[in-house]
């Protein structure tokens, strides 16, 4: 059975999980409009994720996706962290603030979070997806035994093979165009930076799993193109950031609607892992850090968030994590359900 038929989707669209930006209301609105909504639970704990799942279920009985981060556990390194804080010091000073004394690992990998696994086994959401890697074989078999459909992000053929070998049900093929964090399993390893078109085609031809195309898809024509490449559905993130249901603040929305949207850039400086963001003062720091490496993800994010808070308090919004993909200038401001209906109409027009 096709992915669309299995989940009775009216439109082959998954609203991307976007930790800190997508909301349960966005997910349920997308589900009710005929797409698949997602919750980004990567940056919360089991109690937070449980509350999100309950909120979605209060508004829809349709299939939705719960997304977890499965990064390699952060390695604390006091020397590297001190050097990073020293580098950021003058920026904090510009906003009359001091950098944090020490940096924390602000959230756990799903691989280290048995409470999250227990909660998922109890709540049994219809779909669970993984970003940055895969959990243990035991965790996967327990989730599968609860009838949960499993998906994982791949940015390369090697990652796709690992996903297939682990018995996952579908692959999210994330191209370099995509907004937010790149799902690469090993951020220190080589990255061929494959675009969505080449990656989707590679995975469709070289794996047996359904492939969900992600990266730079903003409208019905993009969805139709992804399906023409053999994708089972398209996963759209940036397209939903400007929806009223998103948690993006006013400055993020303004930046997305402004000229910066034409200049997205990949940076590891904000969180410690490569992610595509709207060009801003934070991403511009890349030009001035010769030889310096931010701490491990998500330790660096603790500093990044503190800097953003200090700057924002004085009206400087250029240090926010304003994630967006290369299609950002095509983002539309409309309720998520209207966006899903618009995507369906555009997609059908492409097929007419």
Ligand X SMILES: Cc1cc2nc3c(=O)[nH]c(=O)nc-3n(C[C@H](O)[C@H](O)[C@H](O)COP(=O)(O)O)c2cc1C
135 counts as binding ligand X under rule CB under 6 A: no
∠107-272-18 over CA atoms, to 5°? 60
For 155, the token pair is: 């940015």
Number of residues that bind ligand X (CB under 6 A): 30
Q: How far is the CB of 343 from ligand X (least distance, A)?
A: 12
d(CA 233, CA 53) in angstroms, rounded, equals 23
325 counts as binding ligand X under rule CB under 6 A: yes
Q: Which residue is nearest to ligand X (CB)?
A: 237
260 counts as binding ligand X under rule CB under 6 A: no
91 counts as binding ligand X under rule CB under 6 A: no
For 66, the token pair is: 């719960």
17 counts as binding ligand X under rule CB under 6 A: yes
d(CA 159, CA 297) in angstroms, rounded, equals 19
Nearer to ligand X, 85 or 239 (CB): 239
CA 318 to chain centre: 21
178 counts as binding ligand X under rule CB under 6 A: yes
Whether the CB-CB separation of 322 and 267 falls below 8 Å is answered with no
Q: Among 9, 11, 13, 21, indicate the residue that binds ligand X (CB under 6 A).
A: 21
DSSP code per residue over 205-274: HH-SS-EEEESS--SHHHHHHHHHTT-SEEEESHHHHTSTTS---HHHHHHHHSGGGG-EEEESTTTSS-
Q: Fill in the DSSP letter of residue 5.
A: H
Q: How far is the CB of 125 from ligand X (least distance, A)?
A: 15
179 counts as binding ligand X under rule CB under 6 A: yes
Helix, strand, coil tally for the chain in percent (to 5): 45, 15, 40
67 counts as binding ligand X under rule CB under 6 A: yes
Q: How far is the CB of 90 from ligand X (least distance, A)?
A: 28
Q: Among 215, 272, 294, 320, indicate the residue that binds ligand X (CB under 6 A).
A: 215
65 counts as binding ligand X under rule CB under 6 A: no
150 counts as binding ligand X under rule CB under 6 A: no
d(CA 180, CA 289) in angstroms, rounded, equals 22
Nearer to ligand X, 85 or 168 (CB): 168
238 counts as binding ligand X under rule CB under 6 A: yes
320 counts as binding ligand X under rule CB under 6 A: no
Q: How far is the CB of 19 from ligand X (least distance, A)?
A: 3
327 counts as binding ligand X under rule CB under 6 A: yes
Q: How far is the CB of 226 from ligand X (least distance, A)?
A: 11
Neighbouring CB atoms inside 10 A of 315's CB total 8
d(CA 273, CA 342) in angstroms, rounded, equals 33
323 counts as binding ligand X under rule CB under 6 A: yes
Q: Which residues bind ligand X (CB under 6 A)?
A: 16-19, 21, 40, 42, 67, 131, 153, 174, 177-181, 214-217, 235-239, 241, 323-325, 327
């Amino acid at each position: 059975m096709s992915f669309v038929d299995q989940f009775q989707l009216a439109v082959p669209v998954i609203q991307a999980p976007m930790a800190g930006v997508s909301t349960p209301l966005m997910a349920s609105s997308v589900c009710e409009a005929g797409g698949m909504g997602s919750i980004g639970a990567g940056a919360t704990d089991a109690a937070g994720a449980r509350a999100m799942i309950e909120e979605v279920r209060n508004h829809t009985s349709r299939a939705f996706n719960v997304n977890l981060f499965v990064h390699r556990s952060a390695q604390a390194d006091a020397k590297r962290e001190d050097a990073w804080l020293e580098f950021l010091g003058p920026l904090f000073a510009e906003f009359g603030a001091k950098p944090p004394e020490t940096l924390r690992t602000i959230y756990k990998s799903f691989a280290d979070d048995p409470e999250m696994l227990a909660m998922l086994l109890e709540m049994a959401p219809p779909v669970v997806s993984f970003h940055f890697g895969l959990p243990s074989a035991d965790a996967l078999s327990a989730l599968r035994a609860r009838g949960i459909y499993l998906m994982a992000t791949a940015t390369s053929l090697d990652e796709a093979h690992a996903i297939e070998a682990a018995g996952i049900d579908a692959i999210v093929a994330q191209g370099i165009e995509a907004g937010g964090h790149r799902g690469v399993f090993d951020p220190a390893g080589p990255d061929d930076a494959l675009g969505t078109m080449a990656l989707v085609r590679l995975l469709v031809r070289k794996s047996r799993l359904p492939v969900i195309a992600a990266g730079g898809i903003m409208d019905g024509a993009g969805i139709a193109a992804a399906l023409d490449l053999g994708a089972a559905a398209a996963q759209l993130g940036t397209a939903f950031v400007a929806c009223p249901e998103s948690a993006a603040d006013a400055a993020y929305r303004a930046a997305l609607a402004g000229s910066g949207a034409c200049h997205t850039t990949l940076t590891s400086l904000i969180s410690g892992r490569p992610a595509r963001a709207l060009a801003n003062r934070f991403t511009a720091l890349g030009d001035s850090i010769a030889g310096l490496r931010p701490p491990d993800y998500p330790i660096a994010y603790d500093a990044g968030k503190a800097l953003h808070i200090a700057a924002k308090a004085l009206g400087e919004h250029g240090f926010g994590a304003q994630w967006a993909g290369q299609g950002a200038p095509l983002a539309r401001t409309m309720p998520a359900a209207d966006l899903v209906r618009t995507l369906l109409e555009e997609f059908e027009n492409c097929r007419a």
